[in-house]
């Protein structure tokens, strides 16, 4: 185990751009890929890098995140490894909620300082990537930097949406600009790899992954008044402290909104997905639920990822991710969908006792396209959901339409015969 490094995973704010998926859960607890949660990504990257002391900072809708971490990450009794959740708390010194990323770390410093470490690795809880942090730590130590920032080459179109860093020939960061105007971009190019240059990706975006020397982090957190790493701490520290850029050129996406979340999940159905779940070296860990194998009958499947414990009788499923314990009725068609699945099975006794008219899952003769179906939703028979750019953004009690994607809310009931198109 790497005893030099303590990992701090930021649980994020309200997650309003991922609403309604974050209506009842925090952003890191949002299910991805049919069986994982977003927080499993940074935790798995740490475990794969042999960094096994982790804190997850959270404050909004944190119950399901706490439950998932408690049920999932059990290390040996004889090991110093842990994953601890730190919720915002009132203390003698602070009675406020976390005001930003830096404020969250500042308010939790007394918990971190109870452990021995040389470097603090600060991660975001809402990104999809696979990185060996040891390489970044090695580059940090070798350069003698006090801060290292993971950077990702982007093109001119994307550069206006990120904080952009400018480096010298030694990868030392010399300046920073937050979401620059397109007219300023020619002055903000940096040295990137040949492959990135050929793709037109000349600008270095901050990935929100930082390494701080312990002494410097303690010093910076002692200065009241700064609440955010990206907007205040990093821009203020670049001139005073040696700050290294660690370029990462693998797959990385920020799960910032419904559209990017949808595309990241459907991307897993590609023949060679950019985010590789089938890797012996870079495993993604999650709760071992001990579910039965999925049962599929009479269904034409094309580019579909199906998780454990599903019962599927659909006519056709195409380019979709089907989550744990999903049920899909006969003659139904599912295209370009992410179905999160169910938290438990329904027995016939449950159905009769509660006089349930619609089972959890998708009923018979349904047509579902361009949709996200949150956990435990009930879709009746003969329902037609056809998402697309022609649909206006709107919200009802049971569904939400954003950018042409229909999101059926958690525990929602869509009655038989409903048409959303």
For the chain, which residues make up each domain, given as ranges? 5-269, 295-420
Instruction: Count H helices and E strands in the chain, helices first.
Output: 10, 28
Lowest-confidence region among 72-76, 151-155, 199-203, 353-357: 353-357
Cα–Cα distance, 325 to 117 (Å, whole number): 42
**Token pair of 366, please?**
């349904």
Summarize pLDDT for 356-379 with one digit per residue, the tens: 778 899 999 999 999 999 999 999
Where does the pLDDT of residue 62 fall: very low under 50, low under 70, confident under 90, or very high at 90 and above? confident
Cα–Cα distance, 188 to 156 (Å, whole number): 10
Secondary structure letter of residue 268 according to DSSP: G
Summarize pLDDT for 210-242 with one digit per residue, the tens: 999 999 888 888 887 777 777 778 888 888 899
Where does the pLDDT of residue 198 fall: very low under 50, low under 70, confident under 90, or very high at 90 and above? confident
Q: Does the predicted TM-score (pTM) go above 0.85?
A: yes
Q: Quote the pLDDT of residue 94.
A: 61
Summarize pLDDT for 137-169 with one digit per residue, the tens: 999 999 999 999 999 999 888 888 888 899 888
Where does the pLDDT of residue 98 fall: very low under 50, low under 70, confident under 90, or very high at 90 and above? low
Cα–Cα distance, 309 to 299 (Å, whole number): 16
| C-beta separation of 283 from 291 below 8 A | no
| C-beta separation of 29 from 68 below 8 A | yes
* Fold of the 295-420 domain: UDP N-Acetylglucosamine Acyltransferase; domain 1 (2.160.10)
User: Do the two domains 5-269 and 295-420 of this chain adopt the same fold?
Assistant: no
pLDDT reading at 120 higher than 90: yes
Cα–Cα distance, 411 to 361 (Å, whole number): 10
- For 88, phi then psi, to 5°, come to -55, 135
Q: What is the CATH number of domain 5-269?
A: 3.90.550.10
Tokens 């203020």 label which residue? 236
- For 35, phi then psi, to 5°, come to -150, -10
Where does the pLDDT of residue 325 fall: very low under 50, low under 70, confident under 90, or very high at 90 and above? very high
Higher per-residue confidence, 191 vs 342:
342
Which region, left, alpha or beta, applies to residue 63 given φ > 0 means left and ψ of -120 to 50 means alpha?
alpha
**Token pair of 111, please?**
């918990």
Cα–Cα distance, 30 to 377 (Å, whole number): 15
Q: What is the DSSP string of 393-408?
A: PEE-SSEEEETTEEEE
Cα–Cα distance, 363 to 377 (Å, whole number): 11
Task: Please provide the average confidence, as pLDDT, over all residues in the chain.
Answer: 89
Give the percent of the chain with pLDDT over 70: 95
Cα–Cα distance, 76 to 337 (Å, whole number): 39
Secondary structure letter of residue 25 according to DSSP: S
Q: What is the DSSP string of 129-198?
A: E---HHHHHHHHHHHT-SEEEEEEEE-HHHHTTSEEEEE-TTSBEEEEEES--GGGGGGG-----HHHHH
Three-state secondary structure call for residue 337: strand
Where does the pLDDT of residue 63 fall: very low under 50, low under 70, confident under 90, or very high at 90 and above? confident
Where does the pLDDT of residue 178 fall: very low under 50, low under 70, confident under 90, or very high at 90 and above? confident
| C-beta separation of 319 from 263 below 8 A | no
pLDDT reading at 116 higher than 70: yes
| C-beta separation of 400 from 410 below 8 A | no
Rounded to the nearest 10 degrees, the angle between the axes of helix 214-222 and helix 101-112 is: 120
Q: Quote the pLDDT of residue 318.
A: 97
The residue count of the chain comes to 421
CB neighbours of residue 359 within 10 Å: 17
- For 317, phi then psi, to 5°, come to -130, 125
Three-state secondary structure call for residue 323: coil
């Amino acid at each position: 185990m790497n005893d030099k490094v303590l990992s701090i995973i930021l649980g994020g704010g309200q997650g309003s751009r991922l609403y309604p998926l974050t209506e009842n859960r925090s952003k890191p607890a949002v299910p991805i890929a049919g069986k994982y949660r977003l927080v499993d990504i940074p935790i798995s990257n740490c475990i794969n890098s042999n960094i096994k002391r982790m804190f997850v900072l959270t404050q909004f809708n944190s119950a399901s995140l706490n439950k998932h971490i408690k049920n999932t990450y059990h290390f040996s009794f004889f090991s110093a490894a842990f994953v601890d959740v730190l919720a915002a708390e009132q203390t003698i010194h602070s009675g406020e909620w976390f005001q930003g990323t830096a404020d969250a770390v500042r308010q939790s410093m007394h918990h971190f300082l109870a452990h021995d470490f040389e470097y603090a690795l600060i991660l975001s809880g809402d990104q999809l990537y696979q990185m060996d942090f040891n390489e970044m730590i090695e580059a940090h130590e070798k350069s003698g930097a006090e801060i290292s920032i993971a950077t990702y080459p982007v093109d001119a179109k994307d550069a206006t949406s990120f904080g952009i860093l400018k480096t010298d020939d030694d990868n030392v960061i010399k300046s920073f600009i937050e979401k620059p105007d397109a007219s300023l971009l020619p002055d903000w190019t940096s040295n990137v790899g040949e492959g990135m240059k050929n793709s037109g990706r000349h600008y270095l975006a901050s990935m929100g992954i930082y390494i701080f020397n312990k002494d410097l982090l303690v010093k910076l957190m002692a200065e009241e008044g700064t609440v955010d790493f990206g907007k205040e701490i990093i821009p203020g520290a670049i001139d005073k402290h040696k700050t290294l850029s660690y370029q990462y050129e693998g797959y990385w996406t920020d799960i910032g909104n419904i559209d990017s979340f949808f595309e990241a999940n459907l991307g897993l159905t590609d023949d060679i997905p950019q985010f590789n779940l089938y890797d012996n070296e870079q495993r993604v860990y999650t709760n071992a639920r001990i579910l039965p194998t999925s049962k599929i009958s009479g269904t034409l499947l094309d580019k579909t990822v199906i998780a454990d414990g599903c019962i599927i009788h659909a006519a056709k499923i195409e380019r979709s991710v089907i989550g744990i314990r999903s049920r899909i009725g006969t003659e139904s068609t599912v295209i370009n969908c992410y179905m999160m699945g169910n938290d438990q099975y329904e027995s016939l006794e449950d159905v009769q006792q509660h006089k349930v008219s619609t089972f959890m899952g998708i009923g018979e003769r349904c047509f579902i396209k361009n949709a996200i179906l949150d956990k435990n939703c009930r879709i009746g028979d003969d329902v037609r959901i056809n998402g697309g750019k022609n649909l206006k953004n709107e919200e009802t009690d049971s569904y939400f339409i954003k950018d042409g994607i229909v999101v059926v809310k958690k525990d929602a009931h869509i009655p038989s015969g409903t048409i959303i198109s």
